[in-house]
Amino acid sequence: MEITHIKEKKKWLALNDEVQIGELNYNINGDILVIDHTEVEPHYRGNSIAADLVQAAVDHAKKEHLKIDPKCSFAVTFFERFPEYSNLLTKR
């Protein structure tokens, strides 16, 4: 599996042999990366693909000095499970 950033479309794709099996959609609002939606094809769920997509967003935010606002339910759960990334979250 490969995670690919399509910056001009504001998304990360999870690809298996060049076939899309997952997607994370985001927007940039100033210095905030807003995670809008994360989805994985049903056959591939339960394999940490959604977590890998969110991790790609986390890595990008760290590199670009962005904060993260998780709007989708999976991303919210991800940050609850990994409190070590709480410093990246916008204050609510």
- Structure confidence at residue 91 as a pLDDT band (50, 70, 90): confident
Class of domain 2-88: alpha beta
Average pLDDT score over residue span 44-65: 96
Contact at 8 Å (CB) between 3 and 40? no
Please tell me whether residue 42 adopts helix, strand or coil conformation. helix
Checking if the pLDDT of 7 tops 70, the result is: yes
**24-52 pLDDT, tens digit each:** 999 999 999 999 999 999 999 999 999 99
Give CA–CA dist 34/21, Å, rounded.
Answer: 21
pTM of the model: 0.94
Q: Are strands 11-16 and 2-6 parallel, antiparallel or unpaired?
A: antiparallel
Decide: helix, strand or coil at residue 67: strand
Distance CA 16, CA 62 (A): 26
Domain boundaries, the chain: 2-88
Indicate the length of the chain as a whole number: 92
Average pLDDT taken over every residue of the chain: 96
